[in-house]
Amino acid sequence: MADLQLVVLKTVNDGPIDDTAIKFPDIETNTMQGTLSSLAARSMIVFKPIELEVWTLTPEAEEIVEKGSHEIRLLDEVIKNLDGLKIADVGKVLGSAGKLGQQRAFKNGWVKKEGDRLVANVSDKPVDETAADLKAVKETGTLSNALELNELRKRKLLIKGKKVSYKVEKGPEFALEIKKLETDLTPEMVASGSWKTQTFKPYNFEAEGALTPSGALHPLNKVREEFRQIFFAMGFTEMPTNQYVESGFWNFDTLFVPQQHPARDLQDTFYIKDPIEADEPEDKTYWENIHKVHETGAFGSIGYRYPWSAKESRRLVLRTHTTAVSSRMLHQLAADPKPARFFSIDRVFRNEAVDATHLAEFHQIEGVIAGDDITLGDLIGFMDRFFKRMGVDKLRFKPAYNPYTEPSMEIFAWHAGLNKWIEIGNSGMFRPEMLESMGLPKTLRVHGFGLSLERPTMIKYGLSNIRDLLGHKVNLEFIESNPAVRLDETLV
Ligand code: PHE
């Protein structure tokens, strides 16, 4: 509840003009504040709000002011009857005020009990302080005695409210009329010279201005870009990953993934319905080599020894990993074998149940290094240097299994924030079955590794649900406002 008063205390230039409060009871505080602010913005006035606590009376309190407190009214009734008031009649005589009046009159020591009656216990009629206090509050909005005020509040006789007054003074541009303020200086004003007499709205340097709608980089793109820069700095070339659909041949067979491997099941891989199959690759020797290495063995390997199906190999899938792209690139490298470093960061697809940490599609960071006679030690050393650039300096490797690498290692990083080892990737040395089928010489060894882009991004931005990062549930505000990222701070 706010009562409004405009207190004109004094003017700036010519002393007090009026110290009478002008009341504007029908105006909302907001409207008043708005009007004053706009006048102040034109420097016509200077003002300051003054907020006062005011107390108003409840209907019960109003009744007390009018008729006296319950206790005094009870005492009156008791005195009126020479032999006192029958307790049983209190309610009848005083109604709802009776019970409370009786309690308080007892408490004050004004009445006492004699048999079934109440009789007066005072010779003179006491002062009705409750009524007097309430009357004072009604007139002034408050009470000088804070204890009593609190007592009345506790008795639910008062309601707290607020009275807003404004101390208003004339400002430097004080006038009785509001002049039209120009907002823009136009060429016409300059030409005619009218700008000299016009009044311009002052600049508001505090104004925040409307946000300019613009695109925003998705956090995944930001982190991806950081990884790209690290790869470039370490001499890698980016692989073309713009082909989401691959044949089983490139996605699996070239990687020595047998055709019965569970990863090739419908539950794990999305197969394309139309067209259902791809053409066979132009390199027929390679095609035959892959056939052989699976079915009968070749290049010193005994193979898997099962009837390899060309049809299965031609089936189209949404690529399940970017290692399919690495395989294409290494096959190209076989035309002119030499040390090389390739990387890619792009989308892959897996037929997985979606939950807080898995989507049916995610991004893979993939690196491939081909070098003369490089060893597992080189791979570990490279990993150390690569992750150090992201602020990760404690790595552990755990033996793992991939059909296309031997040995294979899962990569774990120590996460200082989470205080535990977390799995960040998978790696290994590509098998001769894969490399020699392509025609790469035995001496050119290739190792590779893969990480998800989502995992470090979620850790970096403190997200625990992948659906907050990708998909239709993403909050655009988050995308627009999230900060840039530097990988040299600890990312994982
Ligand atoms: N393709 C593997 C994965 O999807 C990652 C990997 C790439 C492992 C290269 C070894 C070599 O997890």
pLDDT of residue 135 exceeding 50, the answer is yes
Regarding the beta carbon of 450 and ligand 1, being less than 6 Å apart is answered yes
pLDDT of residue 251 exceeding 50, the answer is yes
8 Å CB contact between 66 and 58: no
User: In which band, very low, low, confident or very high, does the pLDDT at 5 lie, cut at 50, 70 and 90?
Assistant: low
- More confident site: 308 or 198: 308
User: From atom 2 of ligand 1, which residue's Cα is the shortest distance away?
Assistant: 450
Q: Give the whole-number percent of the chain exceeding pLDDT 90.
A: 55
Residues 346-399: pLDDT tens digits? 999 999 888 888 889 999 999 999 999 999 999 999 999 998 887 788 899 999
Q: Six-digit token pair at 241?
A: 């990953």
Residues 21-77: pLDDT tens digits? 677 777 787 888 888 998 998 888 999 988 888 899 999 999 999 999 999 999 998
Candidate from 1-10, 170-179, 439-448 with smallest mean pLDDT: 1-10
SS3 category, 272: coil
Write down the pLDDT at residue 110.
92
Write down the pLDDT at residue 1.
39
Write down the pLDDT at residue 20.
55
Please give the DSSP secondary-structure letter assigned to residue 98.
H
Q: Which atom of ligand 1 is nearest to the CA of 321?
A: 4
CA 472 to centroid of ligand 1, rounded, Å: 28
Cβ neighbours of residue 321 closer than 8 Å, sequence gap 6 or more: 251, 348, 364, 366, 450
Range from 78-92, 123-137, 471-485 that averages highest in pLDDT: 123-137
CA 81 to centroid of ligand 1, rounded, Å: 103
pLDDT of residue 468 exceeding 50, the answer is yes
Write down the pLDDT at residue 14.
37
Alpha-carbon distance 37 to 34, whole Å?
5
Among 261, 326, 346, 366, which residue has the most ligand 1 atoms within 8 Å of its CB, making it the best to mutate? 366
8 Å CB contact between 158 and 58: yes
Q: Which atom of ligand 1 is nearest to the CA of 366?
A: 7
8 Å CB contact between 347 and 320: no
User: What's the average model confidence in pLDDT over 440-445?
Assistant: 97
- More confident site: 183 or 492: 183
Cβ neighbours of residue 279 closer than 8 Å, sequence gap 6 or more: 314
What single letter denotes the amino acid at residue 353? A
Regarding the beta carbon of 448 and ligand 1, being less than 6 Å apart is answered yes
Regarding the beta carbon of 327 and ligand 1, being less than 6 Å apart is answered no
Among 246, 255, 402, 409, which residue has the most ligand 1 atoms within 8 Å of its CB, making it the best to mutate? 402
Distances (CA, A) of 291 to 125, 249, 309, 396, 440: 118, 10, 8, 36, 17
Q: Which atom of ligand 1 is nearest to the CA of 320?
A: 4
pLDDT of residue 492 exceeding 60, the answer is no
Name 423's bridge partners: 412
Write down the pLDDT at residue 276.
95
User: From atom 5 of ligand 1, which residue's Cα is the shortest distance away?
Assistant: 450
User: What's the average model confidence in pLDDT over 288-297?
Assistant: 98
pLDDT of residue 338 exceeding 70, the answer is yes
- More confident site: 103 or 24: 103
Please, where are the H alpha helices in 371-445?
Answer: 376-388, 432-438
CA 448 to centroid of ligand 1, rounded, Å: 7
Regarding the beta carbon of 366 and ligand 1, being less than 6 Å apart is answered yes
CA 364 to centroid of ligand 1, rounded, Å: 9
Q: Which atom of ligand 1 is nearest to the CA of 430?
A: 11
User: What's the average model confidence in pLDDT over 162-166?
Assistant: 81
pLDDT of residue 416 exceeding 70, the answer is yes
Global confidence as pTM: 0.61
Regarding the beta carbon of 426 and ligand 1, being less than 6 Å apart is answered yes
pLDDT of residue 247 exceeding 90, the answer is yes
8 Å CB contact between 465 and 354: no
Q: Six-digit token pair at 449?
A: 């590794």
User: From atom 8 of ligand 1, which residue's Cα is the shortest distance away?
Assistant: 427
Write down the pLDDT at residue 491.
52
Write down the pLDDT at residue 7.
54
Regarding the beta carbon of 402 and ligand 1, being less than 6 Å apart is answered yes
Cβ neighbours of residue 282 closer than 8 Å, sequence gap 6 or more: none
Write down the pLDDT at residue 417.
75
User: What's the average model confidence in pLDDT over 455-473?
Assistant: 86
pLDDT of residue 80 exceeding 90, the answer is no
CA 410 to centroid of ligand 1, rounded, Å: 10
Write down the pLDDT at residue 489.
54
Q: Which atom of ligand 1 is nearest to the CA of 322?
A: 1
CATH superfamily of domain region 219-245+259-277+317-489: Bira Bifunctional Protein; Domain 2 (3.30.930.10)
Regarding the beta carbon of 455 and ligand 1, being less than 6 Å apart is answered no
User: What's the average model confidence in pLDDT over 287-291?
Assistant: 98
Write down the pLDDT at residue 54.
87
pLDDT of residue 8 exceeding 80, the answer is no
Closest CA to 232 of 404, 487, 405: 487
Neighbours of 21 (CB within 10 A): 14
Neighbours of 173 (CB within 10 A): 13
Among 246, 343, 424, 426, which residue has the most ligand 1 atoms within 8 Å of its CB, making it the best to mutate? 426
The residue ranges of every structural domain in the chain are: 1-69+129-203, 70-127, 219-245+259-277+317-489
The whole-chain average pLDDT of the chain stands at 89
8 Å CB contact between 404 and 434: yes
Alpha-carbon distance 279 to 331, whole Å?
17
Write down the pLDDT at residue 221.
92
User: From atom 10 of ligand 1, which residue's Cα is the shortest distance away?
Assistant: 427
Write down the pLDDT at residue 317.
97
Alpha-carbon distance 369 to 336, whole Å?
15
User: What's the average model confidence in pLDDT over 283-293?
Assistant: 98
User: From atom 3 of ligand 1, which residue's Cα is the shortest distance away?
Assistant: 450
Q: Six-digit token pair at 391?
A: 């602020």
Alpha-carbon distance 383 to 424, whole Å?
11
Write down the pLDDT at residue 455.
87
User: From atom 4 of ligand 1, which residue's Cα is the shortest distance away?
Assistant: 321
User: What's the average model confidence in pLDDT over 274-298?
Assistant: 96
What single letter denotes the amino acid at residue 156? K
Residues 213-229: pLDDT tens digits? 888 899 999 999 999 99
Alpha-carbon distance 5 to 21, whole Å?
6
Residues 168-185: pLDDT tens digits? 889 998 888 887 777 888
pLDDT of residue 156 exceeding 60, the answer is yes
